[in-house]
Structure 1
């Protein structure tokens, strides 16, 4: 019967186990419900000890020839369970932090995509800068409509540039949270250059 098999197993091993542990270790000789009934029966009849850790019950045999030593073992396991419970709580907290960072990173553009977008924006801005320099040095009169169009385009590209730069910075900061080296090392590994590194500066248009 399950009662005898469970009692013998707990007595022979002289270690605390949960119902799930006993079921697995008896290699399916009895169903989990039968094991649970046997554990409850043995506990109620004083054949084994039962302790509650959170929502989980842990059972251990009472060794009549070495009760004091058995109590010490249970005490040791109490401390071990507390330590493991705290470790699990710490790891769950760390996992939530990593998961939040991962969601932020996966929602942002990929490194390759962001790099291409930055390069495209730089090229457009440089092209506009050349055009503006030509217009500034030209003696030809620019109509108010054309000037308005130029300023509107400049504002559009400027907003786009700042938006892309902000996205890239946020993405880079997210990666750096889990990166073991410095920001400089990360930029070198990704072959990226910041505006400051290439001495890129925006020119303000005075209207």
Structure 2
């Protein structure tokens, strides 16, 4: 009968098992339904113990000649709790490592960043030279060309403000769960704000 086989297996192994474990370890001799009925019946008559872990029932034989049976079950209970906490800690550590890895792989290399900065500096110098020439020039600009320049300026200025707003929104969203100050976050991300570098856009009326 399934009851005798289940009781013998739990007694011989002297370890707690779920219904699925017992069914598998009996190598399919009895169906899972038959094993479950046998476990419930044995628990009702007090031949085995049943403990509930979440939604899963775990069964263990009562060893009449071993007074350490209850402490063994408590040990397994504590081991399970410790393992669950360890899994939770490891999962959180993994998530943090994945975020850091993503940030590192998406950031430019130091060499690439230096080259980009140098390129921007050269472009800025050329624009400043051109701007100074225009300011000191007495040449009258064609109205069509002037309108095009002004329209381009408006377009680029709006895009600049839009991107700056998006960047600020992203930083504020990160800061909601960031344990340090905004200044520390900016330093870690190697970000410089307009205010930090004294960057201002001249918007004289025209």
Smaller-chain TM-score range?
Answer: 0.5 to 0.7
TM-score by length of 1: 0.60
Contact 1:2 1:35 in 2 (8 A): yes
Aligned to 2:77: 78
Q: 1:137-161: CA deviations, max 9, x gaps? A: 3221235654343233123234445
Hey, what's the Cα distance between the residues in 2 that align with 1:33 and 1:137?
Answer: 94
The CA deviation at 1:45 is 1.8
Deviation string 1:65-111 (CA, Å, 9 cap, x unpaired) is 11x2111101111222232344445556x38966x969xx7xxxx66
Q: Which gives a bigger RCO, structure 1 or 2 (Cα 8 Å, sep 6+)?
A: 1
Partner Cα distance (2:75, 2:128) in 1: 74
Specify the alignment match of 1:206 in structure 2: 204
| Distance in 2, Cα, partners of 1:111 & 1:159 | 26
1:28/1:155 Cα in 2 relative to 1: closer, same or farther (>3 Å)? farther
Aligned pairs (5 A) from 1:45-194: 45-66=45-66, 68-90=67-89, 94=92, 126=124, 132-142=131-141, 146-161=145-160, 163=163
Measure the CA separation in 2 of the matches of 1:128 and 1:153. Answer: 15
Equivalent residues of 1:10, 1:16 under 8 A apart? yes
Q: Structure 2: how far apart are the matches of 1:78 and 1:12?
A: 20
| Matching residue of 2:24 | 24
Q: Distance in 1 between matches of 2:151 and 2:24?
A: 72
Matched with 1:180 is: none
User: Where do 5+ consecutive residues of structure 1 fail to align?
Assistant: 178-182, 188-192
Quote the RMSD (CA, aligned, Å): 4.6
Aligned to 1:36: 36
- Please state how far the C-alpha of 1:55 moved relative to its aligned partner: 1.4
Change (3 A) 1:34 1:96: farther
Secondary structure at 1:142 match in 2:
coil
Give, in whole Å, the separation in 2 of the partners of 1:52 and 1:36. Answer: 14
Q: Which runs of 5+ in 2 are unaligned?
A: 179-185
TM-score (norm 2): 0.60
